[in-house]
């Protein structure tokens, strides 16, 4: 019904070519993402990403479709909330000033919306790691009753009924057919391009020009490497593993963390280590947004570590930090802000503002 044979095979041919070239391009080490260039980037010295676009050939058209979907409230049951409502570019795709998620009809969730960047390196998603693949990530907020509360089948039907989306799917995949797999893969193309590797920290590490840390930042970095970096591991600033970092349990929620997924008592109260890139912007902090400032986070490590159940051995007794240490650490953490991610127009809502 929606197929146009001639065009179809032409586009399929292009897709095949794209596929071939995507496979033969060696994962080039590119220092800076050229404007409007949609391609995989592996910065110098970084590990291989988990998600490589092998069966989802990257292209501008797929990216554009993914971006359109990301900013479209059509994905929610009452057409009021888009992914972009809770993941805002100016705060590195976290939710500014919201401790827990606000879904349709003002429904409140229990967890804080994380910032989104460098997602192709994530082996799992969510604070509890419940989602095991970037392509299946959008399904979770769509179907969560406290977020978008929609059935994915309805979303696919709404998209199929839209002339705009039939055109965008045709552009990206060579026919107007809207399938879950295409929907998911377009999302992965957009989300996978949200790279963050151009902070001051990165520029200093790459020894670009005359960039260097101030004394304060350098002391903070030294402290960070000594006390924080095993979990918040460079260069992604996460080990992508699960730890209890000693936050007292909120009885009203009693979020069991990783154990919610594994039902394993040894995983109780463990949460996925968040990246600290762009951390100066992504308040509030922790899985439930309980802290408003970085100072509070450091005070937690310094004197607030309690919850003994499965407490990470590195945090027994907390991490003693002097006032100077805290100031230095915060100065360092501020070097992790990547203005390129925040202001790159190609990540913005194309119909927005």
Partner 1 sequence: MKKAILFLSVLSIAGFVSCKKDNKDPEPSNPTSPAPTPTTGNLTVQFTNMVDAQPLVFNTGYKIMGGDSFKVTKLNYYITNIRITKTDNSVYSETNSYHLVEHSNPSSTSITLPNVPNGSYKSISFTLGVDSALNVSGAQQGDLSPTKGMFWSWNSGYIMFKLEGSSPASGASSKGLLYHVGGFSGANKTQREFAFNFGATTANVNGTSTTPKVKVSTNVTELFRNPNTINFSVLHTVHMPGADAKKLADNYADMFTFDSVVN
Residues that bind partner 1 (CB under 8 A): 55-56, 126, 130-136, 139-140, 142-144, 151-153, 156, 179-181, 183-185, 188, 261, 263
Query: 78 is written with which tokens?
Result: 């009452």
- Which candidate, 47, 78, 227, places its Cα nearest to that of 149? 78
Which residue lies nearer to partner 1 by CB, 132 or 327?
Answer: 132
Site for ligand HEC, residues 152 to 181, rule: CB under 6 A: none
Residue 9 C-beta: closest distance to ligand HEC, Å = 32
Say which entry of ligand HEC, partner 1, none residue 143 contacts (CB below 5 to 8 A, set by partner kind): partner 1
Say which entry of ligand HEC, partner 1, none residue 156 contacts (CB below 5 to 8 A, set by partner kind): partner 1
Residue with tokens 């404007």: 35
Residue 176 C-beta: closest distance to partner 1, Å = 16
Q: Determine, following the binding rule CB under 6 A, whether residue 286 of this chain makes contact with ligand HEC.
A: yes
Site for ligand HEC, residues 185 to 244, rule: CB under 6 A: 187, 191, 227-228, 230-232, 243
| Separation between Cα atoms, residue 336 and residue 200, nearest integer Å | 6
Pair 341, 117: CB distance under 8 Å: yes
Residue 249 C-beta: closest distance to partner 1, Å = 21
Neighbours of 174 (CB within 10 A): 21
| Separation between Cα atoms, residue 14 and residue 173, nearest integer Å | 10
User: Which of helix, strand or coil describes residue 203?
Assistant: helix
Judged by CB under 6 A, which of 175, 273, 335, 337 binds ligand HEC? 273
Query: 165 is written with which tokens?
Result: 């989306």
| Separation between Cα atoms, residue 289 and residue 307, nearest integer Å | 17
- Segment (H or E) for 271: strand 271-272
Say which entry of partner 1, ligand HEC, none residue 268 contacts (CB below 5 to 8 A, set by partner kind): none
Query: 39 is written with which tokens?
Result: 């391609």
Q: Quick one: how far is CA 242 from the chain centroid? A: 16
Phi-psi region of 74 (alpha: psi -120 to 50; beta: other; left: phi over 0): alpha
Say which entry of ligand HEC, partner 1, none residue 184 contacts (CB below 5 to 8 A, set by partner kind): partner 1
Neighbours of 250 (CB within 10 A): 11
Say which entry of partner 1, ligand HEC, none residue 50 contacts (CB below 5 to 8 A, set by partner kind): none
Residue 197 C-beta: closest distance to partner 1, Å = 24
Q: Determine, following the binding rule CB under 6 A, whether residue 121 of this chain makes contact with ligand HEC.
A: no
φ/ψ (deg, to 5) at 15: -60, -40
| Separation between Cα atoms, residue 98 and residue 115, nearest integer Å | 12
Pair 75, 83: CB distance under 8 Å: yes
Q: Determine, following the binding rule CB under 6 A, whether residue 118 of this chain makes contact with ligand HEC.
A: no
Judged by CB under 6 A, which of 138, 159, 170, 195 binds ligand HEC? 138
Say which entry of partner 1, ligand HEC, none residue 232 contacts (CB below 5 to 8 A, set by partner kind): ligand HEC
- Binding residues (CB under 6 A) for ligand HEC: these are 70, 75, 81, 83, 85-87, 101-103, 109, 111, 113-114, 116, 119, 125-128, 137-138, 141-142, 147-148, 187, 191, 227-228, 230-232, 243, 245, 247, 271, 273-274, 276, 279, 282, 285-287, 294, 297-298, 301, 312, 314-315, 319, 329
């Amino acid at each position: 019904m929606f197929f146009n044979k001639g065009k179809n095979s032409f586009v399929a041919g292009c897709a095949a070519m794209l596929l071939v070239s995507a496979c033969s391009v060696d994962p080039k080490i590119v220092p800076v993402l050229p404007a409007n260039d949609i391609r995989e980037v592996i910065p110098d010295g970084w590990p291989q990403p988990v998600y490589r676009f092998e069966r989802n050939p990257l292209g501008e058209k797929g990216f554009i479709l993914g971006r359109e979907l990301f900013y479209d409230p059509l994905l929610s049951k009452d057409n009021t909330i888009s992914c972009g409502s809770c993941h805002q570019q100016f705060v590195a795709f976290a939710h500014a000033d919201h401790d827990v998620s606000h879904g349709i009809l003002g429904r409140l969730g229990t967890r804080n919306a994380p910032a989104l960047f460098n997602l192709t390196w994530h082996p799992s998603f969510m604070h509890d790691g419940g989602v095991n693949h970037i392509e299946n990530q959008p399904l979770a907020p769509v179907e969560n009753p406290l977020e978008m509360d929609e059935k994915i089948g309805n979303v696919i039907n709404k998209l199929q009924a839209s002339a705009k989306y039939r055109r965008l799917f045709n552009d990206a995949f060579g026919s107007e057919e809207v399938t879950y797999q295409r929907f998911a893969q377009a999302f992965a193309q957009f989300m996978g391009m949200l790279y963050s590797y151009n902070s001051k920290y990165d520029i200093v590490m790459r020894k670009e020009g005359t960039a260097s840390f101030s004394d304060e930042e350098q002391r903070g970095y030294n402290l960070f490497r000594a006390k924080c970096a095993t979990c918040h591991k460079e260069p992604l600033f996460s080990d992508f593993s699960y730890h209890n970092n000693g936050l007292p349990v909120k009885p009203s929620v009693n979020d069991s963390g990783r154990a919610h997924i594994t039902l394993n008592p040894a995983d109780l109260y463990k949460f996925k280590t968040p990246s600290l890139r762009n951390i100066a912007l992504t308040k509030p902090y922790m899985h439930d947004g309980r802290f408003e400032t970085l100072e509070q986070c450091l005070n937690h490590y310094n004197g607030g570590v309690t919850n003994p159940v499965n407490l990470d051995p590195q945090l027994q007794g907390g991490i003693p930090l002097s006032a100077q240490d805290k100031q230095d650490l915060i100065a360092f953490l501020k070097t992790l802000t990547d203005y390129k991610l925040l202001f790159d127009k190609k990540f913005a809502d194309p119909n927005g503002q």
